[in-house]
Homo-oligomer: A and B are copies of this chain.
Amino acid sequence: MTTQERKAIPVPQVEPRATIPPQNLRVPGPTPVPQEVLDAQAAPMINHRGPEFSAIMKRVTPRLQYFFQTASPVLTYPASGTGAQECAVVNVFSPGDHVVSIIIGNFGTRLAKIAEAYGLNVSRIEFAWGEAADPAVVEARLKELAPYKGVLMTHNETSTGVTNDIQTLAALVRKLSPDALVVVDAVSSLSSLPLEMDPWDLDVVFTGSQKGWMIPPGIMMIAASERAWQAHKTSKLPRFYWDWSSTRKQLETSWQHPTTPPVSLFYALDVALEMMLAEGREAIFARHKKAGEYVRGRVQALGLQLLATDARYASNTVTAIKAPEGIETKALLKKLRESEHIVLADGQDHMKGKMFRIGHLGYFTDSDLEQTLDAVERHLKELGYQG
């Protein structure tokens, strides 16, 4: 095809924009955003190299450190949670490094796949969907698999509604392999569920803005221990965008970023962190605990089965429920969305269509959850569920 023959692209015809009615958005991210935070995004743009933006970072950074419970700098990038997973891997490992992936669902699998995509030698300790990582099993397997440079684990597995006991798992790794890096995916837990990076001696911890932080998607946050920063120095995986050194340097010299940050999302984060501190970290944890208990209580009262096999590890940010015999998840979710504007999430991967998930993290009220469970009950019955 010569240059002359290549066609010009005409103006496309598209469907007009339509107003989206208010929803009870109960997926495990994006989560609802308070009006004050939504409105904060609508402030005019500013120079990301100017003093006004630095002032935002100067407020936001120590507050993120408080929620992470770390004295290490919390770095921020324009990215999704998957970007955070990749950023964690490429900054501390080298090609061929042996790492162990503790997998309890879809996002654990994704983290292992990223490590493999970058040429790491990944050993998997896998648990069935719905189970938490059993520390005894992990301990036995880690002993067989040693030596390893790091252990990748998920704090809260969004695909299964299960929360791992990260404190115990991290302590296990530290006992067996003092120098191994403990890499924790805290995307759907941090700020909602207790996690203490420094006190628990975690090495890399990351999260995403669209989960417990009450802001829209588009920012990921990541922090590294002194041990991880040491590993970073000799890590040979290729990186530029995700490089911690340049990001830390720019933060520490000017409270800025090496590349252009998502300014309007930082306006949102600034306000959201203020609201979160007004509520209080422990109060936020308590609200999520109560929400998890409420949702599980209602689900079980309906005779439905949780995917989580052990109630002690059921997540307080997302509840995963098996679709009852004869009920199609897709039909239930469509009914809820179209007739009630309640939006739930389907299962992922091999569980698509076989389960559904209710998000209860970030910004929500008791009545949001009550309305959701009332509607689930009503529509399941309409679909023929006997309970």
Number of copies: 2
Which of B7, B55, B70, B78 is within 8 Å of A80, CB to CB?
B78
Residues of B within 8 A of A271 (CB): 17
In the complex the two chains form, what is the Cα distance from A239 to B41 in whole Å?
Answer: 31
A198 touches B44 (CB 8 A): no
- Give A1-26 as 1s and 0s: 1 = Cβ < 8 Å from B's Cβ atoms: 00100111111101101101011010
B44 touches A82 (CB 8 A): no
Q: Which of A49, A78, A239, A270 has the most CB of B within 10 A?
A: A78
A8 touches B199 (CB 8 A): yes
B343 touches A58 (CB 8 A): no
Measured CB to CB, the closest approach of chain B to A358, in angstroms, equals: 13
The answer, yes or no, to whether A195 is at the interface (CB within 8 Å) is no
B265 touches A262 (CB 8 A): yes
Which of B12, B42, B274 is within 8 Å of A65, CB to CB?
B12
Contacts of A58-101 to chain B: CB distance below 8 A: 58-59, 62-63, 65-66, 68-71, 78-83, 86
Contacts of A215-273 to chain B: CB distance below 8 A: 216-218, 237-241, 258-265, 268, 270-271
B55 touches A18 (CB 8 A): yes
Residues of B within 8 A of A277 (CB): 11
Measured CB to CB, the closest approach of chain B to A298, in angstroms, equals: 21
A interface residue count range (under 10 / 10 to 19 / 20 to 34 / 35 or more): 35 or more
The answer, yes or no, to whether A210 is at the interface (CB within 8 Å) is yes
The answer, yes or no, to whether A148 is at the interface (CB within 8 Å) is no
In the complex the two chains form, what is the Cα distance from A362 to B349 in whole Å?
Answer: 41
A14 touches B259 (CB 8 A): no
Q: List 25 A-B contacts (CB under 8 A).
A: A3-B200, A6-B199, A8-B199, A9-B70, A12-B63, A12-B65, A15-B59, A17-B59, A17-B270, A18-B55, A20-B43, A20-B46, A33-B45, A39-B42, A47-B345, A78-B78, A80-B259, A83-B241, A117-B239, A119-B238, A217-B260, A217-B261, A217-B262, A218-B218, A218-B265
